[in-house]
Structure 1
Amino acid sequence: MNRLENKVAIITGLAGGMGATEAKLFAKEGAKVIITDIQEEKLKSVAAEIKANGGVVEYVVHDVSSEESWKTVAQKAETAFGKIDVLVNNAGILGDIMGSLEERTVEEFNKVLSVNLLGQFIGVKTVVPYMKKEGAGSIINISSVGGIIGGGNGTAYTASKGGSRIYSKGATVELAKDNIRVNSVHPGYVETPMTTQMKGSDDFKMNSLSGTPLGRGAKLEEIAYGVLFLASDESSYMTGSELVIDGGLTAL
């Protein structure tokens, strides 16, 4: 308990399973959390659950691809809680991963990158001045094993996640002098609304698990605890790292 006591954290992408689980865990561990998504009803539901369990939370309807929307989120955090210590760039979309590469469109490719990569860039750009005022910060960019090993189909998704991985390293070097840490997290297969809504999701799941040495997908809490570690002072000497939580998939 209280691993994040006195910390203020922004977590994006709360309508999906990972973001909501992270927010609940952060609040349980003492953080004041700002949760964001484009789906207001789901935000309200998560916020109500956190408050019912004694947590401190505010929510903002938020388009991560919009710089103005990001400014609203940061201002909300400062107004409500006085500072920003942690940013978890969790928001992400898959796009259409079925079919061949030549069937993909420029519009689809740009849409995926605008959420998964541009959204992380704007988020970091927006919170850094607030973290500099505090003399420290922890930024966690949620990537994927797809940002390390790639895979068939889903080229926009893997490009965005690979971009997240290397962008995190570039930001690490630039922000280290300000005591702002930047790390990326790379989950393997996790059962979330995003993965289960996919066309052919049963086949995708079977293929993913057959290539995972532990033989199962991750529980949402297993990803959230990794994110919690990076947000906490326990990881104070970790920056530029890739935290892979994949059941051994990338070891093959």
Structure 2
Amino acid sequence: MADLSGQVALVTGASTGIGRALAEGLAARGMAVAGVARTEDRLRAAMADVAGATGAHTFAVVADVTDRASVEAAVEAAVGELGQIDLLVNNAGVIDELEVPLWEADPDQWWDVVTSHVKGSFLLARVVVPWMVLRNRGRVVNIASGMSLRARPEYSAYSVAKTGLMRMTEALAGALEGSDVRAFDVSPGVVDTPMTRSMHIWRGFEDWTPAERVVEVVAAIAAGELDQWSGRFVRAGADDLATLRSTTPEDAARQLRLRPFGDGDPLG
């Protein structure tokens, strides 16, 4: 288990599911953890449980990641309490309410899904990354998805959101070249959480990715072991960590690109 003592993580959507697992897994590795979520009682209970289980310093920050003022206040509070942010994990976000084609979706709920992932991650990165650049040290992890790579027609909003998040990660990583601040896309696979349990497509599914596999990948990123994968997509539970550590991807490997239609493709 990587020793991350002395580092501070800020994890959004930390009161339940993957965010909750990340908060505890990172705390167990020595990190102080600021957990961000909208529901105060559940968040405070989760952070208290993490502190009790690990002995780590935790801090509950109630905030709406889609609200600029709320995000700015949350980051200011987290830095004031914990001193710095070494790792930002953008995990918060919602899913399409109904499994329907986009023309049957409620327009407001559809846009809320996109906003939760894209605007939320943008606002957090916009506030946190300057602190990292000043210290010339930091890692940003955006929680991606298999739907980042291929759209599910019944989850059009979530697919759009997760693909947009990948583009944001690549843009952020490119802007940070030459510094010791890096950005990554981490797909967790299909983890057994209340959100996945609510999705009809996973009814009867049992081949869950253990949440600990997600923690291991994020912890390796926080330890600086996967820096060569900055701006790229990795998949917990499928990618072997030893292989990731020893491999330097080339060209546009694990990035979104058009596939040429043939040798004569002018965009190939």
Please, what TM-score do these two structures have when normalized by structure 1? 0.88
Residue 23 of structure 2 corresponds to 23
User: Does the 8 Å CA contact 2:87/2:138 hold for their aligned counterparts?
Assistant: yes
Q: Following superposition of structure 1 onto structure 2, how do residues 118-197 of structure 1 map, counting pairs within 5 Å? A: 118-197=119-198
Distance 1:102 1:246, change over 3 A: farther
1:122-144 deviation line (CA, Å, top 9, x unaligned): 11111011111211110000010
| SS at structure 2 position matched to 1:94 | coil
Once the two structures are TM-superposed, the CA of residue 228 in structure 1 deviates from its matched residue by 1.6
Q: Match for residue 219 of structure 1?
A: 210
- Aligned partners of 1:43 and 1:51: how far apart in 2? 12
Return the alpha-carbon distance in structure 1 between the equivalents of residues 191 and 203 of structure 2: 9
Q: How do residues 59-78 of structure 1 correspond to structure 2 at under 5 angstroms? A: 59-78=60-79
1:2 CA drift (Å): 5.4
Is contact 2:15–2:47 with CA below 8 Å preserved after alignment?
no
Task: Report deviation, 1:246.
Answer: 5.7
- In the alignment, the residues of structure 1 paired with residue 113 and residue 104 of structure 2 have an alpha-carbon distance, to the nearest angstrom, of 15
Do 1:189 and 1:205's aligned partners in 2 also have CA atoms closer than 8 Å? no
SS in 1 for 2:185: strand
Greater relative CO, 1 or 2 (CA 8 Å, sep 6+): 1
Could you say which residue in structure 2 is the equivalent of 1:113? 114
Shift of 1:76: 1.4
Choose the corresponding residue for 1:245, options 228, 231, 236: 236
Q: CA deviation at 1:236?
A: 3.4
Instruction: State the distance in 1 between where 2:19 and 2:118 align.
Output: 17
Per-residue Cα deviation, 1:168-226 (whole angstroms, up to 9, x for no partner): 0111100123321000011322211111123xx3x5344xx5xxxxx712111122211
Residue 152 of structure 1 and its aligned partner are, at CA, apart by 2.6
Larger Rg computed on CA atoms: 2
Contact kept? 2:13, 2:36, Cα under 8 Å: yes
Report which stretch shifted further, 6-15 or 99-108: 99-108
The separation in 2 between residues aligned to 1:78 and 1:49, in whole angstroms, is: 21
Give the corresponding residue for 2:202: 204
Alignment CA distance shift 1:131-1:195 (3 Å): same
1:128 and 1:111 mapped to 2: Cα distance?
A: 24
Q: Deviations over 1:34-60 (max 9, x none)?
A: 001001122112111122131111011
Residue-pair matches, total: 239
The amino acid of 2:33's aligned partner reads: V
List gaps (5 residues or longer) in structure 2. 240-268
- % of aligned pairs identical? 27
- Report the Cα offset of residue 146 of structure 1: 0.6
User: Kindly tell me: are residues 217 and 2 of structure 1, through their superposed partners in 2, closer, same or farther at Cα, counting changes over 3 Å?
Assistant: closer
1:228 equivalenced with 2:228 (yes/no): no
The answer for unaligned runs of 5 or more in structure 1 is 210-214
Provide the residue aligned with 1:4 in structure 2.
4
**Cα offset, 1:99, TM superposition:** 2.0
Counterpart Cα distance in 2 of 1:8 and 1:245: 22
| Code of the aligned partner of 1:204 | W
**Does the residue aligned with 1:177 lie in a helix, a strand or coil?**
coil
Query: What secondary structure, in the 3-state scheme, does the structure 1 residue paired with 2:69 have?
Result: helix
SS at match of 2:127: helix
Alpha-carbon distance between aligned partners in 2 of 1:81 and 1:98, rounded to the nearest angstrom: 41
For 2:183, what is the secondary structure of its paired residue? strand
Q: Which residue pairs with 1:42 in the alignment?
A: 42
State the match for 2:51 in structure 1: 51
- Point out the more displaced range, 97-106 or 159-168: 97-106
Cα deviation, residue 153, structure 1: 0.6
Distance 1:100 1:2 in 2: 43
Whether contact under 8 Å (1:182, 1:240) holds in the other structure is: yes
C-alpha distance in 2 between matches for 1:5 and 1:100: 47
Alignment correspondent of 1:212: none
Which runs of 4 or more aligned residues in structure 1 lie more than 4 Å from their structure 2 counterparts after TM superposition?
none
